[in-house]
């Protein structure tokens, strides 16, 4: 039996148009779905729309529309958006569908029959934006921090689910299953929340006030609370409780959400499942926020952080937008994104590194081997490429398994850069002119084509159309990940098509390109003399230990070996590096910086990192191994 994989997006509220935040989570889910299909998993991918509740009812009223017609329209907008972004969901569920309502009734009945439901009067602070009561602790200056509005005080008769009863059990479950909620920061947040009483959950609304919902099976004067209704979509879409899909996919369910809806997914949903006697989902994957014009974050055009994915898809193609969203964000963390950064990514990774290599190898194949992939005669000089190319799928699989998607893509791109270096070192255009260069020329061109075959399959989850185009342009068809572990699967003798469109035309990105901030800055930056620069002492250092700094999310305390000396440096790299991955790494230290105290720790110097200002930071280190302590000049 094949391995199964089930991934879900949140079902988006049908009260507003799809925007970049929805696009982001959905692109990540699509990446994972396509990745697992190519890796031989029996995969199911669900998206949909959340259509009941007060918020939708109010929005429909404001639009002067019948709620169902209103939902029909917006739900269709989401489906259209997913088509633009090439999303490959297997199902799209709407909470107003009968198949969903039937399962909601069934689960609510199970809770009722189990004695976990009671009726009470309740008074609390309700945020319509979140569609839930907020605790005093969740407020910031009296407002909901996500919707920047003061919640309304509400008092009404509701049915309650005995959620508090399951708090201790949930806490132990999360502790015993450290991968249940990831990244770990969110797991810790939930554990902290569960350290104190969570109260019971109001699961109904009086129909007199909110008529738009699913009537409770035991009291037609109340409708189900929208969160309880919505969460159940993940099971109803599979045909809970006896559908074949439910049996196959539920045990491996992975939800993808944004951090705004952590509590309903990490607390309401597992306790409801437990009370109803249903096994829990496998993983809750929590993404950070993209900063842009749809959330209430400060942003400005001059910072280049405004981006509409649908407009961008029209301008640069859906694959470029998908790639950008996956490559320039760290899953789990907040990121700011912008068109300027997209253009830079497009030009550097896609047009230059990948697109140019493909067109160069095609040009030489057309000119010198009759447009046919030659049979290779591998030599010692080819072994590094072969070893790196065949190891790639394992590395990428491991990174994606840990949701380190941008690193997985960067690993593939590093191999593309290695192929470019191989191409330049072997100089096939010179071999073509040498009297005895034919065989070597054929081998080099074959290896580039074979390398591109592997790259294209690994990039397919991120860029389905362009990745296939890479292979079509080389006369190759489709492959699975299982076909990437051995070198030489592009068949010699394959004819490449005579004509091919440029993979990533630079003009598309060039037209919109304004002067890059770095160039502008460069013109304004003060120049220094060699003597001034010589005052800065840079040295290679080796990280011996790395520890979190209590109370500071961004800081790591590093213990560095610099020759015979040991130094402590406090560095703001915690959002990008886990302490465990640092020991053994060589970095560059500004060794003669005046010591400074950070969070009570004396920091003796500073380490260098490249920061693109778009949420991506990488440490700078020596290109080859060299002793710690060596001076950098
Ligand atoms: O919460 N950055 O629906 P919703 C990243 N119906 N992701 C963002 C984002 C941003 N700026 N803005 C939104 C609901 N998202 C409920 C869900 S599920 C049973 C019910 C994404 O339309 C992110 O995934 O408000 C977030 O969790 C989701 O959209 C919220 O979508």
For 383-422, write each residue's pLDDT tens digit: 999 999 999 999 999 999 999 999 999 999 999 999 999 9
pLDDT at 599: 87
Residue 71 is a catalytic residue: no
pLDDT at 274: 98
**Ligand 1 centre and the CA of 16: distance in Å?**
11
At 521, the pLDDT band (50, 70, 90 cuts) reads very low
User: Is 440 close to ligand 1, i.e. is its CB under 6 Å away?
Assistant: no
Find the mean pLDDT for residues 177-184: 97
pLDDT at 598: 86
Contact 186, 261 (CB under 8 A): no
At 81, the pLDDT band (50, 70, 90 cuts) reads very high
Mean of pLDDT over the chain: 92
User: Is 281 close to ligand 1, i.e. is its CB under 6 Å away?
Assistant: no
pLDDT at 304: 54
**Is 295 a residue whose pLDDT tops 90?**
no
**Is 200 a residue whose pLDDT tops 60?**
yes
At 609, the pLDDT band (50, 70, 90 cuts) reads very high
562: CB partners within 8 A, 6+ apart: 539, 540, 541, 589, 591, 628, 629
**Is 511 a residue whose pLDDT tops 50?**
no
**What would the pLDDT profile of 201-242 be if each residue is shown by its tens digit?**
999 999 998 899 999 999 999 999 999 999 999 999 999 999
Question: How far, CA to CA in Å, does 348 sit from each of 324, 484, 582?
Answer: 11, 25, 27
Nearest C-alpha to atom 12 of ligand 1 is from which residue?
21
| CA distance linking residue 456 with residue 471, whole number of Å | 7
Find the mean pLDDT for residues 81-99: 98
| CA distance linking residue 202 with residue 124, whole number of Å | 11
Phi/psi at 398 (5° precision): -65, -40
Among 12, 47, 263, 273, say which to mutate for ligand 1: greatest number of ligand atoms within 8 Å of CB.
Answer: 12
pLDDT at 373: 98
At 515, the pLDDT band (50, 70, 90 cuts) reads very low
| CA distance linking residue 593 with residue 598, whole number of Å | 14
Nearest-CA neighbor of 337 among 34, 549, 613, 25? 613
**Is 346 a residue whose pLDDT tops 70?**
yes
| CA distance linking residue 120 with residue 128, whole number of Å | 21
At 600, the pLDDT band (50, 70, 90 cuts) reads confident
pLDDT at 348: 92
Nearest C-alpha to atom 24 of ligand 1 is from which residue?
258
pLDDT at 293: 44
DSSP SS3 for 41: coil
The β-bridge relationship of strands 538-549 and 586-590 is: antiparallel
Identify the structural domains of the chain with CATH numbers, from first to last: 4-327 (3.40.50.620), 338-513 (1.10.730.10), 521-632 (2.40.50.140)
pLDDT at 550: 85
Whether a cis peptide bond, with omega within 30° of 0, leads into 241 is yes
pLDDT at 291: 84
pLDDT at 519: 47
Nearest-CA neighbor of 401 among 47, 36, 24, 44? 36
Find the mean pLDDT for residues 269-297: 87
Instruction: Give the tokens for residue 356.
Output: 């140019």
Instruction: Give the tokens for residue 87.
Output: 């999303």
Q: Which of 147, 207, 274, 293 is catalytic?
A: 147
| CA distance linking residue 4 with residue 248, whole number of Å | 7
Find the mean pLDDT for residues 288-298: 63
Instruction: Give the tokens for residue 83.
Output: 């088509």
**Ligand 1 centre and the CA of 255: distance in Å?**
12
User: Is 362 close to ligand 1, i.e. is its CB under 6 Å away?
Assistant: no
At 575, the pLDDT band (50, 70, 90 cuts) reads confident
Contact 25, 284 (CB under 8 A): no
At 623, the pLDDT band (50, 70, 90 cuts) reads confident
**Ligand 1 centre and the CA of 257: distance in Å?**
7
Q: How many helices (H) and strands (E) does the chain have?
A: 23, 26
Q: Report which of residues 386 and 1 the model is more confident about.
A: 386
pLDDT at 3: 96
Find the mean pLDDT for residues 158-162: 97
**Is 432 a residue whose pLDDT tops 60?**
yes
**Is 620 a residue whose pLDDT tops 50?**
yes
pLDDT at 66: 97
- Would the CA dihedral through 230, 231, 237, 242 be positive or negative? negative
| CA distance linking residue 390 with residue 398, whole number of Å | 14
533: CB partners within 8 A, 6+ apart: none
pLDDT at 222: 97
**What would the pLDDT profile of 35-78 be if each residue is shown by its tens digit?**
999 999 999 999 999 999 999 999 999 999 999 999 999 999 99
469: CB partners within 8 A, 6+ apart: 500, 501, 503
| CA distance linking residue 478 with residue 489, whole number of Å | 11
**Is 183 a residue whose pLDDT tops 70?**
yes
**What size, in residues, is the chain?**
633
**What would the pLDDT profile of 98-135 be if each residue is shown by its tens digit?**
999 999 999 999 999 999 999 999 899 999 999 899 99
First-to-last C-alpha distance (Å) of the chain = 59
**Ligand 1 centre and the CA of 210: distance in Å?**
22
pLDDT at 338: 87
């Amino acid at each position: 039996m094949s391995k199964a994989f089930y991934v879900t997006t949140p079902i988006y509220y049908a009260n507003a148009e799809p925007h970049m935040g929805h696009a982001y989570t959905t692109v990540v889910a699509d990446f994972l779905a396509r990745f697992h299909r190519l890796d031989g998993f029996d995969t199911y991918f669900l998206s949909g729309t959340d259509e009941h509740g007060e918020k939708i009812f109010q929005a429909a009223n404001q639009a002067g529309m019948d709620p169902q017609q209103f939902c029909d329209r917006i739900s269709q907008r989401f489906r259209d958006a997913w088509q633009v972004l090439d999303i490959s969901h297997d199902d799209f569920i709407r909470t107003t569908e009968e198949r969903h309502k039937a399962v909601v009734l069934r689960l609510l009945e199970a809770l009722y029959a189990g004695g976990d439901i009671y009726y009470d009067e309740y008074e609390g602070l309700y945020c319509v934006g979140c569609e839930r009561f907020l605790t005093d602790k969740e407020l910031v200056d009296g407002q909901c921090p996500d919707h920047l509005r003061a919640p309304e005080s509400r008092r009404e008769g509701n049915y309650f689910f005995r959620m508090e009863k399951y708090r201790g059990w949930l806490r132990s479950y999360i502790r015993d299953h450290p991968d249940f909620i990831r990244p770990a920061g969110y797991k810790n947040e939930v554990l902290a929340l569960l350290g104190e009483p969570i109260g019971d959950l109001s699961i109904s609304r009086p129909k007199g006030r909110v008529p738009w919902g699913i009537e409770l099976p035991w009291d037609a004067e109340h409708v189900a609370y929208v969160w309880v209704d919505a969460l159940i979509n993940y099971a109803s879409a599979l045909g809970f409780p006896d559908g074949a899909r439910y049996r196959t996919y539920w045990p491996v369910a992975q939800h993808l959400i944004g951090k705004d809806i952590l509590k309903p997914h990490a607390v309401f949903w597992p306790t409801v499942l437990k009370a109803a006697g249903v096994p829990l989902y496998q993983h809750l994957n929590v993404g950070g926020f993209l900063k842009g014009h749809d959330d209430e974050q400060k942003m400005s055009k001059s910072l280049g952080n405004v981006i509409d994915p649908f407009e961008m898809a029209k301008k640069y193609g859906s694959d470029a937008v998908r790639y950008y969203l996956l490559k320039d964000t760290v899953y789990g963390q907040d990121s700011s994104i912008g068109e300027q950064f997209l253009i830079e990514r497009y030009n550097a990774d896609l047009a230059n590194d990948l697109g140019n290599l493909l067109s160069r190898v095609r040009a030489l194949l057309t000119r010198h081997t009759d447009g046919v992939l030659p049979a290779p005669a591998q030599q010692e000089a080819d072994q590094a490429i072969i070893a790196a190319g065949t190891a790639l799928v394992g590395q990428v699989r491991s990174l994606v398994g840990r949701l380190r998607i941008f690193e997985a893509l960067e690993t593939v791109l590093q191999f593309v850069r290695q192929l470019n270096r191989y191409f330049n070192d072997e100089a096939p255009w010179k071999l073509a002119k040498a009297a005895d260069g034919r065989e070597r020329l054929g081998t080099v061109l074959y290896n580039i084509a074979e390398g591109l075959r592997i790259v294209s399959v690994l990039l397919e989850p991120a860029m389905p159309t362009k990745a296939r185009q890479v292979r079509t342009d080389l006369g190759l068809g489709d492959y699975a990940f299982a076909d990437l572990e051995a070198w030489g699967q592009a068949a010699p003798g394959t004819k490449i098509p005579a004509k091919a469109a440029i993979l990533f035309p630079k003009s598309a990105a060039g037209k919109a390109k304004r002067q890059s901030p770095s160039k502008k800055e460069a013109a304004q930056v003060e120049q220094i003399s060699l003597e001034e620069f010589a005052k800065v002492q840079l040295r290679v250092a080796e990280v011996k230990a790395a520890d979190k700094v209590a109370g500071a999310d961004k800081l790591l305390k590093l213990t560095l070996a610099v020759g015979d000396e040991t130094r402590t440096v406090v560095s703001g790299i915690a959002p990008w590096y886990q302490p465990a991955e640092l020991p053994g790494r060589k970095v560059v230290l500004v060794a003669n910086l005046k010591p400074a105290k950070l969070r009570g720790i004396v920091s003796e110097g500073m380490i260098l990192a490249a920061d693109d200002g778009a949420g991506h930071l990488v440490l700078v280190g020596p290109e080859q191994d060299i002793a710690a302590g060596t001076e950098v000049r």
